[in-house]
Amino acid sequence: MQDISFLTIQELKSLLDSKKITKKEVVQFFLERAAQHKDLNAVIEQYDVDSILSASADTGFLSGIPGYVKSNICQKDRITSCASKILANFKSTYDATTVERLKQQGALCLGSVNNDEFAMGSSGETSAYGVTKNPWNKELVPGGSSSGSAAAVAAGFAPWALGSDTGGSVRQPAALCGIVGLKPTYGLNSRFGLIAYGSSLDTVGILTRTVYDNALVLSAMAGQDAKDSTSLPTTPKDYTKTLDGSLKPGLTIGVVEDALSAQALHPEIRQATEDAIKVYEKMGAKIKRISIPSLDYGAACYFVISRAEAASNLARFDGIRYGLRVPGKSLIDLYEATRHDGFGTEVKARILVGNYVLSVGHAGQYYNNAQLVRQIIRQQLADAFKDVDLLVMPTHATPAFKVGEFDNDKLTMDLQDYFTAPLNLAGVPGISIPVGFSSQGLPLGMQLVGPHLSEELLFQTAYAYQEITDWHRQHPSL
């Protein structure tokens, strides 16, 4: 059989439509490929072929197109572990709305993929199932927290994967693995069935190798959901419609100078971003250099708000209702033993910090101030979009880093969200696309950022770039 590892969704569809290949063969091929490269530790669980096929509709515009789902997104009758010991045996009784809608269009869910425990991390290292490796270099991390989603797509285990992005967890691993990662507008994709980390920041995002594929998958998922009260009143649409290789007439791109001149930014990423800006300029875009000073406070503000919301959301894992139960002499003992044994160190640390910043006497100093800063970031981004259609900034400061590199440097690890978290705080969408390779041969990413519900414009702009560059067509040799 031909090697279909790196085919786009359109290419796979035409093979399926012309009956050159069956759905079953597609599923078997991709399951085997992931099994052959188990050492990447991208996949937590693969499902059996028959149950994969029978879980999805027969027809639909994603019929027979396989993908993987992050382990914090519920799939009916499948283990939804969040890569945590506390949910290691938790079987979901329903599909997340995003998963349900994909299945209604015939998409096939091959399994659940690895991630930082409860989506808390930037490297894939906090998973209870061990570290995921970067397919471009197995000594390096793939980024996180959607580590397995990014590694699986980059390694050709499937053309799409779902991730969640609370502070950067789809865009950052996409950048480190050389693929496309979309964090949609807050509320565009339903959060029903996404196990909550930071409810006011959480989004379900999409990882693919091409912009077109990403737009196609979003077309199946987006739109209001009665089961999520924070979902926006939008109707489903075809996000591929505007993808014709052209830019919006008169497109003005704002280059965020503060971000591009950040000291920590790797010079090769700065250069690749400037080169991409030149590509857009050549295509006729107007380029405006702008400053958004509050972005500098994004990571700190995100740190406080995400911990506060995590502490509150994770209180439900107590040994009574879901997952692990470690017996104790009293109810309090049971709670303590379950949470002690069930959660990993990173999660525990975040719960402690979250309760601290919410506590009487400290909330004023931390949580309330962070909310004020959040409003300023929101406002400054909204002001920027009065002058420009889109913003360009880096996704991440460096190419992929070594496994264990920040074991003794938690602060630097937390700063990995520097360029990504402001978008979650403001609720605006962003897409990370590959824009080159470092001298070490590692993928480099760049972020396009738009105002609320500008996904079509983001896709159109990112697609036009992919039409005349070929970074996205280069794949790791495994």
Reading the block at residue 23, the tokens are: 């759905």
Catalytic residue among 23, 56, 70, 190: 70
Catalytic residue among 84, 127, 146, 169: 169
Q: Decide the pairing of beta strands 66-70 and 108-113.
A: parallel
Count CB-CB contacts under 10 A for residue 261.
Answer: 10
In angstroms, give the least distance from the CB of 113 to ligand GLN: 14
One of 100, 213, 389, 417 touching ligand GLN (CB under 6 A)? 417
Q: How far apart are CA 271 and CA 264, in angstroms?
A: 14
Judged by DSSP in three states, 264 sits in: coil
In angstroms, give the least distance from the CB of 3 to ligand GLN: 33
Q: Report CA-CA distances (Å) from 472 to 104, 110, 254, 270.
A: 28, 23, 24, 19
Q: Measured at CB, which residue is nearest to ligand GLN?
A: 169
Residue 56 or 164: the one with the smaller Cβ distance to ligand GLN is 164
Residue 442 has phi, psi (to 5 degrees) of -100, 145
Site string for ligand GLN, 137-156 (x = CB under 6 A): --------x-----------
One of 197, 212, 239, 465 touching ligand GLN (CB under 6 A)? 197
One of 164, 189, 313, 338 touching ligand GLN (CB under 6 A)? 164
Residues in Cβ contact with 225 at an 8 Å cutoff, skipping those fewer than 6 apart: 97, 190, 192, 231
The widest CA-to-CA distance across the chain, in whole angstroms, is 71
Q: How far apart are CA 58 and CA 103, in angstroms?
A: 9
Task: Name the one range near ligand GLN by CB under 6 A: 158-166, 250-258, 287-295, 447-455.
Answer: 158-166
Residue 143 or 156: the one with the smaller Cβ distance to ligand GLN is 143
Judged by DSSP in three states, 77 sits in: coil
Identify residue 297 by its one-letter amino acid code.
Y
Q: Scan residues 86-125 and list those touching ligand GLN (CB under 6 A).
A: 119-122
Task: Name the one range near ligand GLN by CB under 6 A: 48-56, 81-89, 164-172, 251-259.
Answer: 164-172
Residue 172 or 461: the one with the smaller Cβ distance to ligand GLN is 172
DSSP calls for 55-66: TS-S-STTTT-E
Residue 251 or 304: the one with the smaller Cβ distance to ligand GLN is 304
Query: Which residue numbers are catalytic?
Result: 70, 145, 169
Point out which residues bind ligand GLN (CB under 6 A).
119-122, 145, 164-169, 197, 306, 416-417
